[in-house]
């Protein structure tokens, strides 16, 4: 996966186990394991061509920042207000999906 993307397990005193996504200069997103699994499946479906969706959007319950990715022919652009987009090619998109799936359980 790209050096600018990090997926890690975290713990929250109220929500319990979480999965965090750090991308470039964008804010950290915190997802429940269930949300991480849903996002993983959505990213994989778009990357594999099984879904024709052009936008993946999630507003995680444990995060102050939503996750939004727009599909392009070569990959996805992950957006965050006031921050540069982070572009992931299809290999990086699949790697992100796999990392999320592993931590989703």
> Does pLDDT of 39 surpass 90?
yes
> Does pLDDT of 22 surpass 90?
yes
Give the number of domains in the chain: 1
Tens of pLDDT, residue by residue over 54-84, are 999 999 988 889 999 999 999 999 999 999 9
Nearest to 4 by CA among 20, 18, 25: 25
Q: Angle, to 10 degrees, between the axis of helix 90-104 and the axis of helix 33-47?
A: 150
Q: What is the dihedral of CA 58, 55, 103, 50, to 10 degrees?
A: 140
Task: Print the domain residue range for 26.
Answer: 5-104
């Amino acid at each position: 996966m790209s050096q600018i993307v990090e997926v890690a397990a975290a713990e929250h005193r109220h929500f319990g186990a979480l999965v965090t996504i750090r991308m470039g200069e964008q804010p950290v997103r915190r997802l429940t394991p269930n949300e991480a699994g849903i996002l993983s499946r959505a990213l994989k479906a778009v990357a594999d061509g099984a879904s024709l969706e052009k936008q993946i959007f999630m507003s995680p319950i444990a995060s102050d920042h939503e996750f939004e990715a727009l599909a392009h022919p070569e990959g996805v652009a992950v957006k965050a207000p006031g921050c540069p987009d982070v572009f992931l090619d299809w290999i990086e998109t699949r790697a992100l999906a796999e990392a999320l799936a592993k931590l989703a359980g």
